[in-house]
Amino acid sequence: MPGLCPTCMHAKEMRNDRGSLFLLCVRSKTDPLYPKYPRLPVLQCEGFEELPCPKKITATEPSSTS
C-alpha cells in the first residue's frame, strides 16, 4: 500500500466482510475536503501528519550460549 496514507496518523485500516482491506481517512469525518476512502496511492496531501512512532522492528540475534 504505497503513498502517504499508510504512515499518516489520520488513516485507519478497515476490513470488509469479504476480508478486503480499505483505508479510511478519519479527517473525512470533520472535513469534507478529504475523501472517506482515499484513492491510493495518495502522493500529496495537506492533511498528512506522519505517525509519531512508526512500528519499530526489533530484531534479536540468536543467543550463542555455548
6 near ligand SF4 (CB under 6 A): no
In what helix (H) or strand (E) does residue 23 lie, and over which residues does it extend? strand 21-25
**Greatest C-alpha distance within the chain:** 62
Give the range of 13-21, 43-51, 57-65 binding ligand SF4 by CB under 6 A. 43-51
What three-state secondary structure class fits 5? helix
54 near ligand SF4 (CB under 6 A): no
48 near ligand SF4 (CB under 6 A): yes
Residue ranges that bind ligand SF4, judged by CB under 6 A: 4-5, 8, 10-11, 25, 27, 34, 38, 42, 45, 47-48
